[in-house]
Amino acid sequence: MQKTTPYLSATKFILLVLGALIMLYPLLWMLSSSLKPNTNIFREIGLWPSQVTLENYFSGWKGMSGITFATFFKNSFVVVGLSILGTLISSSMAAYAFARMDFTLKKVLFAIMFGSIMLPHHVVLIPQYILFNNLGWVDTFLPLVVPKFLAIDAFFIFLMVQFIRGIPKELDEAARVDGCGHIRLFIKIILPLMLPAIVTSAIFTFIWTWNDFFSQFIYLSNPKLWTVTLALRGFLDSMGESMWGSMFAMSILSLIPIFLFFIFFQKMLIEGIATTGIK
């Protein structure tokens, strides 16, 4: 086995550190800007602020129009929580049907489902908006949440199908000998074994829904229903004074839930991706 020389190891370490600093620079700049007065944000070049203040965090948390930022966080957690619940329930059931059940046009429907991954969201935006508007759902959380309970995310269905296919079918046969039908087999056998894939889907759903701006911007106009992404945009006023410091401060706070969610479940995330063939 070829040994790595100390010089080569040091070179790799330095290159990795430099790459990490380049990747983290925007985040470090945003953190530094959140600690500067508004007048110094675009005047100072360096990352270290000449004057440190927490005023941006206090003013940003007060929100706008009498609505505190706690309300925006609550709205985001409601949308994200229901989206995760709907995605996990509907996608896992659809994945089990494709992976373990035999029914008419199964391969055709799976191909259509898989092909929908390549369909741009903007293509169906107008028909969806007309439908939700006729139902009276515009300016509510329903357009953002209800579709998640209808297995619209083909990516997660495919991810779970790949995982279920890796579970030995001998377990199914043993369960059927004990009198299990498809419902009990799914709940008692398959679902507990799908934990890594479920956690992976939950993490991706959390990140994508939390950071989603376009869909929430389309369907939510009432400031009391704004999520964090919409509220951050509210700090910028093209016709008046923009609160850059407050926006950067609240942006830093908005990243904390994503970091915590990823840190707590990163082991299962890696396991889920590795065991589903999506590498």
Q: Nearest-CA neighbor of 220 among 126, 123, 142, 127?
A: 142
| Sequence-ordered list of residues with C-beta below 8 angstroms from that of 73, at least 6 positions apart, any chain | 228
Within the chain, residue ranges assigned H as helices are 6-34, 55-61, 69-100, 106-115, 125-134, 142-145, 154-165, 170-177, 182-184, 191-193, 195-211, 214-219, 228-234, 244-274
Cβ proximity of 191 and 88 under 8 Å:
no
Q: What is the DSSP letter of 190?
A: I
State the Cα torsion 143-145-150-152 to the nearest 10°.
80
Query: Crossing angle of helices 6-34/244-274, nearest 10°?
Result: 140
Domains of the chain listed by start with CATH number: 65-274 (1.10.3720.10)
Q: What is the DSSP letter of 39?
A: G
37: three-class secondary structure by DSSP:
coil
pLDDT, one tens digit per residue, over 205-214 is 998 999 999 9
| Sequence-ordered list of residues with C-beta below 8 angstroms from that of 222, at least 6 positions apart, any chain | 139
Of the pLDDT bands very low, low, confident and very high (cuts 50, 70, 90), residue 90 is: very high
* Residue 278 pLDDT exceeds 50: no
64: three-class secondary structure by DSSP:
strand
Q: Nearest-CA neighbor of 250 among 267, 227, 271?
A: 227
pLDDT, one tens digit per residue, over 60-74 is 898 887 888 999 999
Given this model, what pLDDT does residue 103 score?
Answer: 86
| Sequence-ordered list of residues with C-beta below 8 angstroms from that of 72, at least 6 positions apart, any chain | 63, 226, 227, 228, 230, 231
pLDDT, one tens digit per residue, over 113-127 is 888 888 888 888 889
